[in-house]
Amino acid sequence: MKKFIWLGIFFLVVSFANLVSAAVTKDSYNNQIEKAYYYNNQDFAYPVVTTLNPAAAQKINSEIRRNMEIWIEDINRRGGEDVKAFEISYEVPCNHNGGVLSIIFREYVMIKHAAHPWHIVHTLNFNSDSGDRLTTDSLSEIAKHGNDYTPAEITRRLKVYSKINNRPLYSDFKQLDKVPENFYFDDNLHVHFLFEPQTVAHYGIGIIDLDADAYADIVDTASN
């Protein structure tokens, strides 16, 4: 049986020689992003980023590789020999001239005898000018409604989203206990929070993608 997972720390040599280069100005520049494969395995895709600041690019790419290692090792620990298939893909919802880079990583994991596969999401957000990772503490500095991102307010918007889109939450779900770490920015710098299956709703609802800014000013008619 072919194994899809490797233990240990992997050292990836990233060469920028093959990345696109161009004479661009700061105002028109978008980070160059190339798809790469983890240990040449096309089931594990990750982005390689080039910015105008090579030191920032190195920080970003090191953080991406570090997290890939963590995610792969975590699935190996949780699934072991029962893992039948494991894929990682990514998308880039925001590659903003203002220095905001958001990346969504999606894991598909099939476990032997499991009723359904695991669908796992992770997000990484960066200031691409500096290479620093953006966390939930950064929301108030970037997002239009950043100061409103409390567990109670995100819960309110989530319940509005649930009712408008007919995607019911668990009947016993009351309130989030913290600001979700899985968030990303879109090109309008709206903040989206991602909720994996079986976190706030049944598996059949799938991954919930809450555009928190879109629901910021809608009156809540869904919560008690």
Question: Over the stretch 103-155, which tens digit does the pLDDT of each residue have?
Answer: 999 999 999 988 889 999 999 999 999 999 999 988 877 766 555 788 999 99
> Could you tell me where in the chain the CATH 3.30.565.40 domains are found?
30-134
More confident residue, 181 or 142: 181
Mean pLDDT of the chain: 84
> Could you tell me where in the chain the CATH 3.90.640 domains are found?
135-224
**Beta carbons of 60 and 128 less than 8 angstroms apart:** yes
Give the fold, CATH level 3, of 30-134. Heat Shock Protein 90 (3.30.565)
**Beta carbons of 75 and 107 less than 8 angstroms apart:** yes
* CA separation for the pair 80, 27 (Å, rounded): 48
In the predicted model, what is the mean pLDDT of residues 149-176? 93
Q: Which two tokens stand for residue 113?
A: 């005898």
In the predicted model, what is the mean pLDDT of residues 69-90? 92
Instruction: Name the amino acid, one letter, at 64.
Output: I
The second-level CATH assignment, the architecture, of 135-224 is Alpha-Beta Complex (3.90)
pTM of the predicted model as reported, rounded to 2 decimal places: 0.83
**Beta carbons of 182 and 121 less than 8 angstroms apart:** yes
* CA separation for the pair 41, 37 (Å, rounded): 6
pLDDT of residue 137: 85
In the predicted model, what is the mean pLDDT of residues 183-187? 94
With tokens 């008619």, the residue in question is 221
pLDDT of residue 107: 96
